[in-house]
Amino acid sequence: MKKIEVLGVGCPNCKKTEALIRQVTDKLGWQDGADFELTKVTSPNDIASYGILATPGVVIDGKVVHSGKVPSKGMIERWLA
């Protein structure tokens, strides 16, 4: 199971990033809780612990894969492949 975390305090770009990740996981036929777990990290201290300076950030299986802007669907598909 992939552990996916969206880092951000709730800004529109963070919400859009989460929505795009859900679109890609739906396209892949993944079930939340079975194939992946998506969580939101909103605490500034927790976000800073990842070394993220600009949100939204995306962490997959404990590794920061993106930060600072909304990722494209293609980027998300590559991360999850």
pLDDT given for residue 70 in this prediction: 98
Measured CA to CA, the distance from residue 62 to residue 33 in angstroms comes to 17
* pLDDT digit string, tens, across residues 21-62: 999 999 999 999 999 999 999 999 999 999 998 999 999 999
- Position 54: which residue type? A
- DSSP3 helix / strand / coil % (the chain, rounded to 5): 40, 25, 35
Q: What phi, psi does 37 have (nearest 5°)?
A: -130, 120
The CATH number given to whatever domain includes residue 72 is: 3.40.30.10
- The count of other CB atoms within 10 Å of the CB of residue 22 is 16
> How many domains are there within the chain?
1
Coil, helix or strand at residue 47: helix
* pLDDT digit string, tens, across residues 70-81: 999 999 999 999
Per the structure, the complete domain to which residue 27 belongs is given by: 2-80
